[in-house]
Amino acid sequence: MVQMCAVFTVTYIAEVTGTYSKLWTFSMSSDALCGVALSGVPLEEFLFYPLVMNFSLLNYLWICAYLKGRHESDLPIPRVVLGRVLGGAAFVFILAGILPLFLRDISVSVPPSMHPGPLGIPRYEEGFRAYGWTMICMFSVAVNLVVFLVAERTTALMLRAAIPLSAVFFLICLMVELLGTGRGWWVFNGRQSSGLWVAGIPVENLPAYLTGVMLPLALFEFTRRLLGERGLP
């Protein structure tokens, strides 16, 4: 509960900040929303957060309990190898987050426009060519990888449960995002993203999906270690 409240609070602040910064917008061109918004963010968006967090955490606990019931040990990945892989990947994503600073063009600002893109998927553009969303995704993935590595080394984080769960979560996020952007529920600002798309999804979203499950699991293990909840699976 402590972790969920903390993650929800951070996510709420990030969502409001992203909306006001025009990193994306919400459209009702295909489907109507309930009409209730919190600081410009539709209520439906907030109702989705507990579902995401509960899905990852509850399934993680279920897989851990199942594996321990079968007396399965964790994956025998050498810590040196894991550290190099996650640390190296974090370094690459940091560089990918810095690069857009040299590609930005703040000389021309375009007015808000919504138009159909390929396959009829809505496309939205507004403001300067700033790559704000690209940088956020890249830096968030880098931080996630570092936190996950520290959690694996200092807590009871179980890779045998976390890795397959992350893969499943990635596919679910991809399907939900394809549906959401395809219907125009949320539309990313092309002036704030890389300009490379998978249907209506900026490519930088793809690695960021893993943050939605890996970071909550790492924070969960930190929290229950801090609170001394050793009896949990």
Taking alpha carbons only, the member of 111, 180, 170, 101 closest to residue 139 is 101
Q: What confidence tier does 119 reach under pLDDT thresholds 50, 70, 90?
A: confident
Which stretches within 33-187 are classed as H helix? Answer: 43-69, 79-98, 100-103, 132-154, 159-183
Percent of the chain scored above 90 by pLDDT?
A: 48
**Cα–Cα distance measured from residue 110 to residue 178, given in angstroms and rounded to the nearest whole number:** 26
The pLDDT of residue 223: 83
Whether residue 94 is contained in a domain is answered as yes
Whether residue 231 is contained in a domain is answered as no
Q: What confidence tier does 46 reach under pLDDT thresholds 50, 70, 90?
A: confident
The pLDDT of residue 2: 58
Q: Strands 197-198 and 186-188: what pairing?
A: unpaired
Query: Higher model confidence: residue 50 or residue 79?
Result: 79
**Cα–Cα distance measured from residue 46 to residue 36, given in angstroms and rounded to the nearest whole number:** 11
Which are the contacts of 132, defined by CB distance < 8 A and separation ≥ 6? 21, 23, 192
Least confident of 45-54, 138-147, 165-174, 206-215: 45-54
pLDDT score of 233 more than 60:
no
Contacts 24+ apart (CB under 8 A), 39-47: 40/16, 41/12, 41/15, 41/16, 44/185, 45/15, 45/186, 46/12, 46/15
**Cα–Cα distance measured from residue 154 to residue 126, given in angstroms and rounded to the nearest whole number:** 44
pTM of model > 0.75: yes
Whether residue 95 is contained in a domain is answered as yes
Q: How far is CA 7 from CA 72, 122, 219, 227, 229, in A?
A: 30, 30, 9, 17, 19
Distance of CA 132 to the CA centre of its chain: 15
Whether residue 158 is contained in a domain is answered as yes
pLDDT score of 49 more than 80:
no
Whether residue 233 is contained in a domain is answered as no
Domain with 151 in it: 2-226
Q: How far is CA 56 from CA 61, 105, 192, 204, 210, in A?
A: 9, 39, 29, 21, 11
Phi-psi region of 105 (alpha: psi -120 to 50; beta: other; left: phi over 0): beta
How much is the average pLDDT of 4-18? 72
Whether residue 134 is contained in a domain is answered as yes
- Report the number of distinct structural domains present in the chain: 1
Taking alpha carbons only, the member of 164, 178, 179, 205 closest to residue 56 is 164
Least confident of 28-42, 112-126, 130-144: 28-42
pLDDT (tens digit per residue) in 161-208: 999 999 999 998 899 899 989 888 889 999 999 989 999 999 999 999
Whether residue 161 is contained in a domain is answered as yes
Taking alpha carbons only, the member of 16, 5, 18, 1 closest to residue 140 is 18
